[in-house]
Structure 1
């Protein structure tokens, strides 16, 4: 009992002594996004645990520690408690640090000056903090509505960074538009103001949807500088925490030029039209279907922005089309959109049929001028069948003059319109019997043609040599691969393309079934063969396509076993996996 009374008397001065609490910053001023450490020191025993809730209004608390010390000098004992908090200011200006309650005791208030940019300082720690920043740039800075604009986001730093870091994606703060990332994050170097920076760079394609100001908000980097591994940090994740913001970025979006006269507004770097026939148009057979593939290739536009091509079919030809196929291929330079349309044409009788040219107006964003992409007119020469019966009129050659009874068309009239006008009677009352007879004859001829087609298909041998007609959709993966092997063996690019899409659908179960989806998972050999097939289809090369390489690459292709989980929108890892 005497011992405990002695101890109580010894510590009695500490219990009755009121605690004196002081607060101080490790540095002041500080840049927004940089951490600041505030230290609360209590000399004596405080009346209770501190309440740091008032700090959350203007600061983000990222770290907290507490230490206690006891000392006795010349018979006088003292106790001291220190709390350290790592804070990130949320706003700029003179930010007040309110008094913090420690039970009945309180700390004194402070004021922290928060700057937009790091202040110049010769201190080594502050200097390291000023050697890292985030910036945004755009090319062009004054695009037209719906014109592709390349947004470049860069993080420049001199000191090494810890791997645990993040950099948010740019987002539209004001105005309307669509933005998507191009390719993957890349690392490079950049010399600026005589200093060699390490650069982490991302690129985005932005498509503004309305004129006026479009504002990209701040993007945020958060991470740690690699300051060397400490003996108390066996995992090597310690370092100076930093946070940096890019400045808001404003673009001036222009309206469509008044001088543009095209039907569709299509601002792009380049646009080309391509046509691919399964059979040469001058070697067609009566009654046999022929496949025609039309494609728009636009550098600087997404496939969904491209319009349907206006194909004028001669009146005597039956034509069928399917849903268009859209493909987008992106790289660091932007997006190349491809819209592909497939047609099947059937000419029932011998003769020459004029297929007029196809034109598409577009705006060259590089030269600032309107241009026109064209597919030249073609003449379909059909043989091997019956001649057109009486009353069946085939389109005349373009050089033939219109009949006197028919008004001369305007210079801009299409060939199909000339044919249609020539078939119209001048007076209904005088030609009623002729029209009735033509209708009856058409019914008889159509019925006869359908019967002939049915008998022809029924008697066709099973082992007939395949043609480049569009392949039917096979729902069996093995059958789809066999169709692809046959098309590659016969060096038929269009049939190989259709079989490849079918195999992607039923064999790989990729949705949507696009060759671009396969190319993302393919190895370099298969990617090169897919590109060679595209060159052959769109007529960019002069050499004949050989399918053996594509077939060998497909046979050795191994699909990925799992899909990468989606990351939360707006925040991405700075160092991508793989």
Structure 2
């Protein structure tokens, strides 16, 4: 081989090293504990905007975030531009790990070996393990189908919880799960130490018989030293027993208490044809409102009855769900006499005494009276002597004239009375429609208030997963639109640029790689402004209606 050939061969060997020399790779530390993060810095002199291919990192590392920095260095007569990528990584397992080579355009970074020590060896983690732990408490392991069980998730901590502390919701395909009230805090002595307990309660309602599994509940928080702490519970098993008995109506209501009430007192003398409004309420402790049966259908109502409105209400307390079903029924009697309102019997199972009971609304009788008597034209009795075979023509004319005047007055009176009755009937129907409209508005306002409080709690706790669900629920109540099922439709409905940016930020924290904890205060402020504007428009509309009524 000639000298020239050797030189060419050596140049070919040096070309890959020259190319790799344009990329420098380093980490801020080569030894970390599992749960900690490290910073990988890649610097290249490429001028284009090519992003590193991060896919080789995904099997062994969690990518928490990335940041791009353009670096310019000036020397005598020359300017050098470089692009620096800083990646926040968290190893998924301990042991000896390798950060693989990454492709950046036509260049590649170098591999870097790191050592990941077990989290138990971290002195900060061992102290954290003693100062922070999670416990679950299920008030009963066996319940009936559709009955209520209470699950309490307790986080014990010696120091205040960090802002990014999150507790995921329990999950199960075979259970209806409802969060009860807000988180509460109290103190409890454990192993001689005074712990603060942050407790979250949930109501569980099985919709399937048999063994039901509740997935693990995970608590995550970042402790001092940027150490991620994850506390996971063991999956729970709940046994759902079949109904204790069956009845002809196929009603199964396991509750701690159940009562039925009627707003209709003893009523007598109802005018025939006049509408009568009856309110019946069914109240239950330990059942969701959605399973309470229809009272109207169970009562065997007559054809003269009509169901006007149904209202479902739920109250969450630390002891569980209290539900109410209110039905407004319009009665109209067309026959004089007595109208019988049949009794209503609702069988239910008392979960406290383990006995079957029946809530009864007794039969009622309403007496129907004749309506107000209509004025009839007075009759004119003429007294004529038998012996008088003729009379004065003037007397006859005056008699006929009097009869005509009386008949005319009678017709005018009857017409006026008929118009008055029709007007009263229209006014009553309008008042009934207006009352029903007000009740619907009140029900919507209560639902909007409840969903807004739940959204406020999620935002104040800086929990993006729960905030996403509560935001959609609030939007459905606020705009009365059940088809609003995702954040995209929510933004379209809000039509607000600020909301668009805040929802985008929420989605970045949910699905992106943002390393910063999500803060819900700005989103909550934007929602409050929307509510304020809506309420202000409503008040202005009411004031306009009052002015119009006054002018009219």
TM-score (norm 1): 0.53
Q: Pick one of 31, 42, 50 that aligns with 1:25.
A: 31
Cα distance between partner residues in 2 of 1:308 and 1:63: 54
Gaps of 5+ in 1: 1-14, 41-49, 66-82, 228-238, 388-452, 475-494, 506-511, 523-561
Corresponding residue for residue 58 of structure 1: 60
Q: Do the aligned residues in 1 keep the contact of 2:37 with 2:226 (CA within 8 Å)?
A: no
Report the secondary structure of 2:268's partner residue: coil
* 1:188 to 1:575, Cα distance in 2 relative to 1, 3 A: farther
Residue in 1 that maps onto 2:151: 151
> Residue 296 of structure 1 contacts residue 340 of structure 1 at CA under 8 Å; is this kept in 2?
yes
Query: What are the equivalent positions in structure 2 for 1:389-538 lying under 5 Å apart?
Result: 458-460=419-421, 471-474=431-434, 498=436, 500-501=438-439, 504=441, 513=444, 515-517=446-448
Instruction: State the alpha-carbon separation in 1 of the partners of residues 166 and 197 from structure 2.
Output: 14
In the superposition, relative to structure 1, how do residues 200 and 146 fare at CA in structure 2: closer, same or farther (>3 Å)? Answer: same
1:35 pairs with 2:9: no
Pair 1:264 & 2:251 matched: yes
Give the TM-score normalised by the residue count of structure 2.
0.55
Q: Which residue of 1 aligns with 2:328?
A: 342
1:340 to 1:99, Cα distance in 2 relative to 1, 3 A: closer
Name the counterpart of 1:176: 174
- Aligned residue among 186, 199, 202 for 2:200: 202
* Contact kept? 2:214, 2:238, Cα under 8 Å: no
Is the Cα contact below 8 Å between 2:307 and 2:328 reproduced in 1? yes
Shift of 1:356: 2.7
SS in 2 for 1:170: coil
CA contact (8 A) 2:216 2:236 kept: no
Partner of residue 219 from structure 1, selected from 208, 217, 220: 217
Secondary structure of residue in 1 paired with 2:241: coil
* Residue 229 of structure 2, aligned match among 214, 231, 243: 243
Report the counterpart of residue 131 of structure 2 in structure 1: 131
| Match among 308, 311, 317 for residue 299 of structure 2 | 311
Deviation at 1:250, TM superposition (A): 1.9
Contact kept, 8 Å, 1:178 with 1:208, in 2: the verdict is yes
**In structure 1, how many angstroms separate the alpha carbons of the residues matched to 2:510 and 2:143?**
24
After TM superposition, give the deviation of residue 307 of structure 1 in Å.
1.1
Matched, 1:290 2:228: no
Change in CA separation of 1:51 and 1:380 when aligned onto 2, cut-off 3 Å: closer
Output the CA distance in 2 between the equivalents of 1:130 and 1:86. 28
Q: 1:499 to 1:223 in 2, by over 3 A?
A: same
Unaligned stretches of 5+ in structure 2? 1-16, 42-51, 68-84, 103-107, 374-413, 454-495, 512-516, 526-552
Question: Using the alignment, how far apart are the partners of 2:259 and 2:518 within structure 1?
Answer: 38
Matches of residues 377-392 of structure 1 in structure 2 within 5 Å? Answer: 377-385=363-371
Asked whether the 8 Å contact 2:289–2:325 carries over to 1, the reply is yes
Taking the aligned partners of 2:415 and 2:240, their CA distance within structure 1 comes to 59
Q: How far apart are residue 124 of structure 1 and its match? A: 5.0
Distance 1:63 1:325 in 2: 48
Compared with structure 1, are the counterparts of its residues 147 and 163 closer, same or farther at alpha carbon in structure 2 (3 Å cutoff)? same
Compute the displacement of 1:139 (Å).
Answer: 2.8
d(CA) in 1 for partners of 2:161, 2:449: 35
- The structure with the greater share of residues assigned to helix is 2
Q: Displacement, 1:170?
A: 2.3
2:353 corresponds to = 367
Corresponding residue for residue 287 of structure 2: 301
Residue 12 of structure 1: aligned partner:
none
Quote the Cα distance in structure 1 between the aligned partners of 2:270 and 2:261: 20
Relative to structure 1, the CA distance from residue 570 to residue 257 in structure 2 (aligned partners, 3 Å threshold; closer, same or farther) is farther
The answer for the alignment partner of 1:186 in structure 2 is: 184
Q: Deviations over 1:163-212 (max 9, x none)?
A: 2443332222xx42222323233333333333222233322233222123
Structure 1, residues 302-360: CA drift from partner, whole Å, max 9, x if none?
Answer: 2221111211346xx72222242222222333222222221111222332333232110
Task: Give, in whole Å, the separation in 1 of the partners of 2:253 and 2:291.
Answer: 8
Seen in structure 2, the aligned counterparts of structure 1 residues 364 and 276 have a Cα distance that, compared at 3 Å, is: same
CA contact (8 A) 1:357 1:378 kept: yes
Name the count of aligned residue pairs: 374
Q: 1:200 to 1:573 in 2, by over 3 A?
A: farther
- Cα deviation for residue 105 of structure 1 reads 6.7
Q: Distance in 1 between matches of 2:417 and 2:331?
A: 18
Contact persistence 1:145–1:253 (CA under 8 A) = no
Q: CA deviation at 1:375?
A: 0.8
Confirm or deny: 8 A CA contact 1:216 1:248 kept in the other structure: no
Distance (Å, rounded) in 2 between the aligned partners of 1:202 and 1:247? 14
1:499 is displaced (CA, Å) by 6.9
Q: CA RMSD in A?
A: 4.9
User: Matched residues in 2 for 1:88 and 1:471: separation?
Assistant: 66
State the secondary structure of the residue aligned to 1:140.
Answer: coil
TM-superposed CA distance for 1:458, in Å, is 3.1
With 151-160 and 286-295 compared, the bigger mean Cα shift is at 151-160
